[in-house]
Structure 1
Amino acid sequence: MADIFDVIADGTRRDILKLLLDRSSAGEDGTSVSHIVHDLGVSQPTVSKHLKVLRDAHLVSVREEGQHRYYSLLTAPLDEIDDWLVPFLDIDAAEAVAASSAVLPESAAHAADVVGRAAASAKHVLESAFKKLPGR
């Protein structure tokens, strides 16, 4: 299997993932290849090629109905990326707090750092939990 970062590095594949996310958020149960082709303005062979890569990376699932195929987003591999990125985001937040500490007293800067880290962690935990709920 290709490295997940190589898979999502391609702009067309990211566009497909975003389209599938938007459609699933709107309550759609899968998106047809023809809909993806129409919305993205990309040729059908190109879309099919990218969908195969996304399927192989377990980022999408496919449901067949007759000659039609409907694709849905699978978030588990993206959760792994999210988990990998969180420590880097916390570093950025710490640097931002450090940069602003010249304006704040040291005790206030420390409190802001603690609250900011707790909020970032809580946000990540909640988003991960919501993604794992049935029907998401």
Structure 2
Amino acid sequence: MTDIFDVIADGTRRDILQLLLRRSTDGDAGTSVTEIVAELGVSQPTVSKHLKVLREASLVTVREDGQRRFYSIEVAPLEAVDDWLVPFLVDAFGDQAPDIDIPVGPLPDGAAHAAEVVGRAAASAKHVVASAFKRLGT
């Protein structure tokens, strides 16, 4: 199995994931390779190569319609990144994390799931830290 961190370490793959995430908020049924190429200004062979890596890591799903393929983001594999990252954020900010005010409409299912996962991970991390301090008597 490919290490998720190796997969998302590449900037082009992150750009593709961000594009697919933006497109998922529009409620579309996937984004074609042609649309990704046009949006990112990257060659078709390069996009196809990166989509293959993302597909093998289960970060994207593909829907075939004749000769065309439409890609959508799959956020569940990013939970491993979330699980690894949240303790660092808790250590850095604790209860003083800055508020981020981004006006958005209702979240699509994938983004809502990702937000729920992040929230649960943050709550879990806070509980672990609070329990550790309690055991230490501070």
TM-score with structure 1 setting the length: 0.70
Q: The residue matched to 1:69 in structure 2 has which SS?
A: strand
Q: Which runs of 4+ in 1 moved over 2 A?
A: none
Partner of 2:89: 89
Cα contact 2:79–2:117 (8 A) shared by 1: no
Q: CA deviation at 1:129?
A: 5.3
Q: How far is 1:80 from its partner? A: 2.1
- Choose from 127, 130, 135 the match for 2:115: 127
1:19 paired residue number: 19
Match of 2:6 in 1: 6
Q: Which residue of 2 aligns with 1:54?
A: 54
Larger radius of gyration between Structure 1 and Structure 2: 1
Q: Is the 8 A contact 1:79 1:128 kept in 2?
A: no
Output the amino acid matched with 1:66.
G
How far 1:128 sits from its partner (Å)?
Answer: 2.0
Unaligned 5+ segments in structure 2 are 100-112, 119-138
Amino acid aligned to 1:2: T
Query: Which structure is higher in RCO with an 8 Å CA cutoff and minimum separation 6?
Result: 2
5+ residue gaps, structure 1, are 95-112, 120-124, 131-136
Normalising by structure 2, we get a TM-score of 0.69
Percent identical among aligned pairs is: 64
Q: Is the 8 A contact 2:75 2:114 kept in 1?
A: no
